[in-house]
Amino acid sequence: MNATKILGTGSYVPDNIVHNKTFEKMVETSDEWIQTRTGIKSRHITLEENTSDLAYEAAKKAMASAKTNASEIDLIIVATVTGDYFFPGVAQLLQRRLKCRNIPAFDINAACTGFVYALEIADKMMKNDGYKKALIIGAETLSKFTDFEDRNTCVLFADAAGAMILGRSEQPGIEDVILHSEGDLEGLLRMESYPLKKDFKTIENKRPFISMNGRDVFRFATTVLPSVIRELLEKTHSTIEDLDLIIAHQANKRIIDKAARSLEFPRERMYLNIESFGNTSAASVPLAIDEAIKSGRLKKGMRFACAAFGAGLTWGGAIIQY
Q: State in angstroms the smallest separation of the CB of 272 from ligand UT7.
A: 14
Q: State in angstroms the smallest separation of the CB of 270 from ligand UT7.
A: 15
**Helix ranges restricted to H, the chain:** 20-24, 31-38, 51-65, 90-98, 114-129, 151-154, 214-235, 253-263, 274-277, 284-294
Q: State in angstroms the smallest separation of the CB of 38 from ligand UT7.
A: 5
Give CA–CA dist 193/195, Å, rounded.
Answer: 6
The amino acid at residue 189 is: L
Of the candidates 292, 265, 261, the one whose C-alpha atom is nearest the C-alpha of residue 277 is 292
In the complex with ligand UT7, the residue whose CB is nearer, 167 or 316, is 316
Q: State in angstroms the smallest separation of the CB of 96 from ligand UT7.
A: 30
Residue 282 DSSP code: G
Give CA–CA dist 32/22, Å, rounded.
Answer: 13
Whether the link from the prior residue into 172 is cis, omega within 30° of 0, is no
SS3 at position 6: strand
Query: What are the backbone angles phi and psi of residue 208, rounded to the nearest 5°?
Result: -75, 140
In the complex with ligand UT7, the residue whose CB is nearer, 76 or 156, is 156
In the complex with ligand UT7, the residue whose CB is nearer, 145 or 218, is 218
CA atoms within 13 A on the CB side of 123: 20
Q: State in angstroms the smallest separation of the CB of 2 from ligand UT7.
A: 33
Please report, as ranges, the residues that interact with ligand UT7 according to CB under 6 A.
29, 33-34, 37-38, 112, 151-152, 155, 189, 214-215, 217-218, 221, 251-252, 279, 310
* Catalytic center residues: 112, 249, 279
Whether the link from the prior residue into 232 is cis, omega within 30° of 0, is no
In the complex with ligand UT7, the residue whose CB is nearer, 38 or 65, is 38
In the complex with ligand UT7, the residue whose CB is nearer, 29 or 236, is 29
Nearest to ligand UT7 by Cβ — which residue? 214
In the complex with ligand UT7, the residue whose CB is nearer, 40 or 163, is 40
How are beta strands 75-79 and 105-108 bridged, if at all? parallel
- Sheet with 245-248, side-by-side order of all strands: 174-181, 314-321, 303-310, 245-248
Q: State in angstroms the smallest separation of the CB of 36 from ligand UT7.
A: 9
Give CA–CA dist 262/260, Å, rounded.
Answer: 6
Q: What angle do CA 311, 112, 78 make, to 5 degrees?
A: 120
